[in-house]
Amino acid sequence: MSETLAIDRPRLGLLNLMSSPVFVKTEHQWRDGFRGLADVVPVRFDEDPRHHNGSSQCLQGYAPISEVADGLDGLIVTGANLERQPDGSPFPFTDIRYIGQLRDVVDWAESQTRLTVYSCLASHIALDHLFGIKRDILPQKVFGVFCHEAVDAPLTRGLEWPLQSPHSRWGNVPAKLLRDAGVEVLAEGFEPGWLLAERQRSTGTTVFLQGHPEYERDDLAAEYRRDRVHGQAVPHKYYPQDDPSRVPAYAWHRTTTQLFRNLTACITANSTRPVPPSDLVRKATA
């Protein structure tokens, strides 16, 4: 990226960490959210271990990140289904096969992008790597559509009130730990915890999402159908009258549309901040 780059249509790398059953769906969610606002460029790790499992076919067409890094204005890192082990204990980040490369990408993004968005588990990994903040595993999954209070900030302007968004996670990072680390919590709910937080840095903005505003109308329904045989309760405030036979409300749609606009505007707002040429290198091989 050049320091004098005039940003017209930003290019955002999408590092998709989801498993193969929802890999394509996750890409669609983020592409659709930024449709008409930014070009989403699918990227993968340079030495991606997922080539050797069920994600190999999904990764076709995903460029090695170091090959396109200089042309990216920002980066999105999605969540992954790596929260709990079968016994319910936390899945150790050190057991994630690509964790070394992911940490390298986090370091690169923090110094050389206008905007970085970490979603769900990726936000927990980034907070752990950057600040040593550890997540908890909750006794019950945060699952459904929840209301949040928000502070006035560029990322929250124009959002509908109350701010509604889906959550689907076992992991949780207390908001106090973010504030103690200098990360500003922008949206937080009594029941689900924080949804949206940001960190301003010398080259741009880092956004942490603990929920899933990118979800579309039927995404929680698909998760519920998949997991109800394992005892998953009906998603909170999702179906009218909590009746799974009814069409889910899409109460967060306008808020999500505006949030994606605000995220894109961050890139323009940060366009005068100096960003050095990319130094992303292949440090980890597994």
Q: Is position 52 annotated as part of the catalytic site?
A: no
- For the record, the structure tokens of 135 come out as 């997540």
Q: Is position 214 annotated as part of the catalytic site?
A: yes
How many residues in total does the chain contain? Answer: 286
Number of other residues whose CB lies within 10 A of the CB of residue 244: 13
Q: What is the 3-state secondary structure (H, E, C) of 75-123?
A: EEECCCCCCECCCCCECCHHHCCCHHHHHHHHHHHHHHCCEEEEECHHH
Choice among 212, 216, 223, 266 that is catalytic: 212
- Spatial strand order of the sheet with 115-119 comes to 63-64, 39-44, 11-15, 74-77, 115-119, 205-209, 193-200, 184-189, 136-150, 163-172
Q: How far apart are CA 160 and CA 50, in angstroms?
A: 39
Q: How far apart are CA 278 and CA 151, in angstroms?
A: 34
Q: Is position 58 annotated as part of the catalytic site?
A: no
Choice among 83, 110, 188, 214 that is catalytic: 214
Choice among 27, 58, 110, 120 that is catalytic: 120
Task: Give kind and range of the element (H or E) at residue 193.
Answer: strand 193-200
Torsion sign (Cα): 38, 57, 66, 210:
positive
Q: How many CA atoms lie within 13 A of 151 on its CB side?
A: 9
- For the record, the structure tokens of 218 come out as 């039927």
Q: Which residues are catalytic?
A: 120, 212, 214
